[in-house]
Amino acid sequence: MSIPISTLGTPRIGPRRELKTALEAHWAGRQNETALLATAAQLRASNWARQSLLGVTHIPSNDFSLYDQVLDMSAVVGAIPSQYGWEGGSVPLSTYFAMARGRRGHDDRGHEGCCHGGGGVPALEMTKWFDTNYHYMVPEFRRGQAFELASAKPIDEFREAVALGFHTHPVLIGPVTYLLLGKSKDEGLDPLTLLPGLLPVYAEILHRLAAAGADWVQFDEPCLVLDLDENARAALRHAYGVLSSTVSDLKIMIATYFGGLGYNLDLALDLPSAGLHLDLVRAPSQLGQAVARASADKVLSLGVIDGRNVWRSNLTALLDRIEPAVAALGPHRVVLAPSCSLFHVPYDVEAERAFDPELRSWLAFAVQKIGELKTLSTALVDGRRAVADELAQSDAAAAARRASARIHDAGVAARMDGLTPAMSERQHPYTLRRRAQEWLGLPQFPTTTIGSFPQTGAVRKARADHAKGWIDDADYQRFLRQETTQAITWQEEIGLDVLVHGEFERNDMVQYFGEQLAGYAFTQHGWVQSYGSRCVRPPIIYGDVSRPRAMTVEWARFAQSLTKRPVKGMLTGPVTMLQWSFVRDDLEREQVCRQIALALRDEVGDLERAGIRIIQIDEPAIREGLPLRHAEKEAYLTWAVACFRLAASGVDDATQIHTHMCYSEFNDIIHAVGGLDADVISIETARSKMELLDAFRAYRYPNEIGPGVYDIHSPRCPTVAEMRDLLAKARERIAGDQLWVNPDCGLKTRSWDEVRPALVNMVAAARKLREETAPARVAASA
Ligand code: GLN
Ligand code: ZN
């Protein structure tokens, strides 16, 4: 007897990002389809072999993807929007990648995911996978949407594994989650009404998998952790009623993750599936309820190892928690698993040779997490003594981490104790601050940019050369000063009002700060997929965060020394610093965020003292931190706003605080955006043609706003007239004296050839608007 171990899914980009390399070579035309598919097959084979070697009994298949697992599902069920020109049959790879990345037209200038005539087709929309930093391709549905099995990927990959000697558990996105993740392109169409047409395709997959020898199939239904209405709940009952009776000896495991089931727990337990997977990291308390209520034949997959974070588990404590449940259920009704697919963590801690050994001993990536599951499984069957060494090591690591001086900083603790509500308040309300800031002498409709200028090949090369020691500090600094000087001179020349230094010294908006803060660590190979071939290496916040010394003051001061116009200081906000990192699990996120806010508050103060009187604190990630459940949203927004204000409020009324956000929905968080009380906010609005401003209008947003007029995601140069029209649209929604003129976001991904004419036009558009409104302004003030 043993207790099975499942992973639900594994990292798929390859330990050295082999998939990224192969994809990009293929897209660039340097590698043909056969070579790409061979790399993909190798990655799958090594994933299966690794898991098998480590003792995983329920090895997943179809968890691999060339781009995205939701896009895969759209290909499998033939939900291919007509613009991609698919005419039935199996979906060609070129069609698949067109959905992922858009297809260029012949006179298009080669921009991914965008179309400007010439027969180009845009990519499907992309959005965040629940509350993770992974992005999926949003399925599109139309009225009368037909589904058919258009890709045999799940069956092919199952067979591929069989041929290599691995018996796998295929993973499919469940039909209800799949439909709920999609978007209706026809008004009034509820995607769930498409379920009856979709289920036969799922049924066909089940038949084929069973014929190929599968005995278990995992259906991912993370929608079960959301607030579901009765319609969705009925859809789940219907779907699993149909699917569970499709093939009698094929067992279904319904996987839920990213939270507790809450009021959906009974529903989930009552669905006619052989098994149910529970996230017991985010919702440990649901274990007792599930054990008590599950029917006598239901298998429970216990997601006890954190699939969303990088910390080693305390195995003894875990055993204390799960032994009673396992005893109650009996070993044949238990599977041990991570809370969610291991896809969200990097491969292997052992690859981190240069990592601080003490910190490394606290970490567990995918490989180590499987090891932990194996230890738990053995302990549960053969007793703790059988794994005494492993448990002792786990205990020792947990104890060492708890007691480590690296984590606890008395200075930080004292400052946290000394926090007062007044520290999150500016000296006076905005109306008074506005007057205090008039000394800045800004014109009406002031022009500015969001911070970064093009990270050209030369900039990236200089950084890489410096990191490798090929150029020394002095040469690197000289190079950066030269870039900054050019940027300042050019901004002055074209007549921008508030200048930026250009962020040439920054690798990444979070990493740059994290590297200068105590409590942060960085891996060498800790990549996780963000979307497609794009991977990120999130920093690890392991201990109390503090700022040993000023982080940005020198560059800001240098830039300001070159010009009489105001140079805007540029910081990444506390919530974004938190959200894009792996965060310690021994302190509430809210408290970690406060510590970061305090460090940034010091930076803001230092900038102000250095004569930088406009300071922007970027918070593009505030919205993505929103909890999945309604009931938890307000509490999050309250502390997120408080942390921003803690960072921003230490300055004089006459110092102007900006913030910046870029994503496309403000309606449900507009009160929090207002709550930030930044003097100026810049937002991404160009693509929505200013519609996003409706939320600001309805809320009567009182402070100043810079709605982006230049879509920086496109290489296209917007004309003066276009931007002027957008500004006119903006003026319909907000008062003229609130309005700033700026691009949607930072310009680091663009080239100077694209940026130069676009910003020249943007300044011209602002001037035009000033001319057009000048008489009205005189009249108003007369
Ligand atoms: N200041 C950053 C930049 O300009 C902001 C980036 C962002 O919003 N993601 O690049
Ligand atoms: Zn942005």
Cα 368 to averaged position of ligand 2 atoms, centre (Å): 36
pLDDT at residue number 273: 97
From the candidates 111, 116, 207, 713, which is the catalytic residue? 713
Q: What is the pLDDT of residues 339-396, one digit of tens each?
A: 999 999 999 999 999 999 999 999 999 999 999 999 999 999 999 999 999 999 999 9
Specify the pTM: 0.95
pLDDT at residue number 689: 85
Ligand at minimal distance from the CA of 450 is: 1
Pocket of ligand 1 (CB under 6 A): 450-452, 503, 509, 570, 618, 620, 660, 662, 745-746, 748
Cα 628 to averaged position of ligand 2 atoms, centre (Å): 23
Looking at 385-472, list the stretches that DSSP marks H as alpha helix, in order from N- to C-terminal side. 388-403, 410-417, 430-436, 457-467
Amino acid identity, residue 334?
Answer: V
Cα 110 to averaged position of ligand 1 atoms, centre (Å): 23
Take atom 9 of ligand 1 and give the residue whose Cα is closest.
620
pLDDT at residue number 776: 54
Q: What is the pLDDT of residues 472-506, one digit of tens each?
A: 999 999 999 999 999 999 999 999 999 999 999 99
Ligand 1 atom at shortest distance from the alpha carbon of 449: 4
- Concatenate the DSSP letters of all residues of 98-135 into one string: HHHH-B--TTS---TT---STT-BPPPPEEE-TTSS-E
* Closest listed residue to residue 319, CA positions, set 262, 271, 254, 386: 386
Take atom 6 of ligand 1 and give the residue whose Cα is closest.
746
Take atom 5 of ligand 1 and give the residue whose Cα is closest.
746
pLDDT at residue number 781: 46
Query: What order do you get walking across the sheet with 334-338 strand by strand?
Result: 59-61, 168-173, 216-220, 251-255, 275-279, 299-305, 334-338
Tell me, yes or no, if 26 is annotated catalytic: no
What does the alpha-carbon distance between residue 74 and residue 67 come to, in Å, rounded to a whole number? 12
Cα 507 to averaged position of ligand 2 atoms, centre (Å): 16
What does the alpha-carbon distance between residue 152 and residue 139 come to, in Å, rounded to a whole number? 18
What does the alpha-carbon distance between residue 579 and residue 365 come to, in Å, rounded to a whole number? 19
Cα 626 to averaged position of ligand 2 atoms, centre (Å): 18
Asked whether the beta carbons of 700 and 668 are under 8 A apart, the reply is no
Ligand at minimal distance from the CA of 504 is: 1
Take atom 3 of ligand 1 and give the residue whose Cα is closest.
746
- For ligand 1, mutation pick of 453, 579, 617, 618 (most atoms within 8 Å of CB): 618
Ligand at minimal distance from the CA of 509 is: 1
- For ligand 1, mutation pick of 133, 504, 509, 568 (most atoms within 8 Å of CB): 509
- Report mean pLDDT in 10-residue bins for the chain, 782 residues: 94 97 97 98 98 98 98 98 94 96 65 48 90 95 96 98 98 98 95 98 98 98 98 98 93 98 98 98 97 97 98 97 96 97 98 94 98 98 97 96 94 97 97 98 98 97 96 97 98 98 96 97 96 95 98 98 98 98 97 98 98 98 94 97 98 98 86 97 89 92 96 91 95 94 95 97 97 67 42
Cα 572 to averaged position of ligand 2 atoms, centre (Å): 11
